[in-house]
Structure 1
Amino acid sequence: MKATIWHNPNCGTSRKTLAILEEAPGVELTVIEYLKNPPIRAKLKQLFDDAGMTPQEGLRVRGSPAEELGLTKDDATADQLLDAMAREPMLINRPLVETDKGVRLCRPQEIVQEIL
């Protein structure tokens, strides 16, 4: 099974999710440090759609410039959030993991088991 993780090595939850993926038998893993190589807007929309999430649910507020940019979960539209996340990847909550079985925002990290 192929798996891709949009990973932030400075995030404990992301590191724990990566460890689960690395230990899972038969997983062909791709690791993308999304702060260095952010997903384009269309990919981000696809990830959220496949995860059954809205961009509002995928917005990282704590530790990000979301509030400074006027992007709160209640005020910003989905399009505004996707545009902002494509420009400022720190706004993307993580880790997002994509496999053949779907996409999950793996907070907590055990959620990754749903798509393995």
Structure 2
Amino acid sequence: MGSEQSIWRSTVETNAGTELTIIEGGSGEPLLILHEELGHPGWLKWHTEMAKSRRLIIPLHPGFGVSPRLDWLQSIGDLAGFYGQVLKEKGLGPVDVTGFSLGGWIAAEMA
């Protein structure tokens, strides 16, 4: 990662009533990126390229990696609603959303 690591930061925020790890980097219009069911693969080369023109917001799904599991999240719709609340609490209006596999399903539910 080297110098690329200075492009992004990882924070633990309290959103929607829980601690959530969020990786952010870049500047410009926000883009919410939702990872697949195997978890976030880390900051990749394409993230660096995208961060040149967009503010990337990459939450680590509850129960994946370091974000705690939430018992009340029982469906994809629950996760979509959860991320809607997270965006609201971060003061972000409508944002572009993309996702991979499970993240794509969540993104479709958010649309």
Normalization by structure 1: what TM-score?
A: 0.29
* Higher helix content, 1 or 2: 1
* Higher strand content, 1 or 2: 2
Normalization by structure 2: what TM-score?
A: 0.30
